[in-house]
Amino acid sequence: MMAASSNSGCRKCAFCPNNSQYSCPRCNVQYCSSKCYKHQNHAQCSESFYEDMIKEELRSGTLSEESRKKMMRILHRIKAGDSVMGDEEDEPLDSDDDEDLAARMADVDLNDSDAIWKKLTEEERQEFRALIDKGGFEDLIPPWIPWWDQQIPKVQEIRPGSQSSPEYAVGCPEIIEVPLLSELTKVTPSPCIPYNILNVLTAYAWTVRLFNGDHQESSLDATEAVLSLSAVLAANANFQEAAIAVESPKMEAQNHPWLMESEEFACTVRNDVLKILQGPVANDQTFYVRAALSEIHVLLHTSKANLSKKKKPAGGRKGLFTYTFMDSSNDIELKITTLPNVKSAIKKVEFLLSFVKEYSEALLSITLL
């Protein structure tokens, strides 16, 4: 998390003519952006930060298979030397180099950063440091492609009696099964519920975009983001207009420097919500909505399990996002991600899933201009 400068309006960035917005938590130098944070004159701090980032990620002990693959890709790119920073498209490594690195890493636990570091040659370590110094680490992490952006036929044949999942379900979060809302309560649903769902979906899309798809591995931080952005989940708010429900998370982000993003980012999130509402196919239009709510449900349950341990997991924050897309090594302060709040949010998400399951027409009638 970037440390905000208390006098950002009257201090200059140490690396460019702009006013500073942040101060380095290690050396207190003033800077205005991620680019300036990585300036060559600040390499002593930034280089060690990114090196620690890799080591802490590997040391966390919670790498998923996908993260392991990312780590191996990074190591392969380091082995490639200067070509990783070229303007040309990535070229495959020489087969001998590829086999050599694979052989050296064959018996190494990718959760053990020290073991990996020992397996790298001194030349590879220097190349890695040079790459970090050039600000190229983020280029090694492939951009996350949202599951709702998949290209699928708008009309698909579903054979009667077929038990296989439809094509559009591949790569999407697994749907959580919930009872119909009428089985839970006889009270007529409030007309605010569809707009409340929009608010939750916007907070979700903002979070997964910000975390570059690494939200499940950074569950506590991602939960803090979702709860901070969604007044519905965190404060029992109700919305009566679609525009306000979708705009609210952007306004909430202004209160949290680590959540703030550009207007372009906000427009992308708004389009994400629209795509989720449109769904994959006409005869199952709410599938993406249910998938998004289901993934929030999984995220909250993961955080609930971590919070139930009464302490954060060993190694602090986890996930590639935590160390790659934040501009300092400080932890995100968990202000509202408490066990009671997470349990309450889980119940709310289950309620919204039940509503969508039974009252899809009310949700689909919303016009998001």
29: which 2 tokens?
Answer: 């130098």
pTM: 0.63
342 and 231 in one domain?
A: yes
90 has a pLDDT exceeding 50: no
- Looking at 139-148, 254-263, 346-355, which range is the least confident one? 139-148
Q: What percent of the chain has pLDDT over 90?
A: 37
67 and 28 in one domain?
A: no
132 and 49 in one domain?
A: yes
33 and 44 in one domain?
A: no
- Establish if 271 belongs to a structural domain: yes
- Establish if 345 belongs to a structural domain: yes
90 and 13 in one domain?
A: no
- Establish if 211 belongs to a structural domain: yes
Judge contact between 166 and 284, C-beta under 8 A: yes
12 and 99 in one domain?
A: no
- Establish if 164 belongs to a structural domain: no
214: which 2 tokens?
Answer: 């690494």
342 and 199 in one domain?
A: yes
- Establish if 161 belongs to a structural domain: no
316 has a pLDDT exceeding 80: no
277 and 206 in one domain?
A: yes
Backbone angles phi, psi at 3, to 5 degrees: -85, 115
User: Count of domains in the chain?
Assistant: 3
pLDDT digits (tens, 9 = 90+) for 258-303: 898 989 999 999 999 999 999 998 889 999 999 999 999 999 999 9
Residue type, 17: P
DSSP 139-192: HHSPPP--GGG----SS----TT--SPPGGGTTSPPPPP---HHHH--SPPPTT
111 and 213 in one domain?
A: no
Taking alpha carbons only, the member of 319, 306, 327, 288 closest to residue 211 is 319
- Establish if 163 belongs to a structural domain: no
257 and 242 in one domain?
A: yes
b/e sequence 324-341, b meaning 16+ C-beta within 10 Å: bbbbbbeebeeebbeeeb
pLDDT digits (tens, 9 = 90+) for 161-177: 555 678 888 889 999 99
50 and 108 in one domain?
A: yes
- Establish if 24 belongs to a structural domain: yes
Mean pLDDT of the chain: 76
Which residues constitute the domain of residue 17? 1-37
44 and 24 in one domain?
A: no
* Interval 212-231 mean pLDDT: 92
142 has a pLDDT exceeding 50: yes
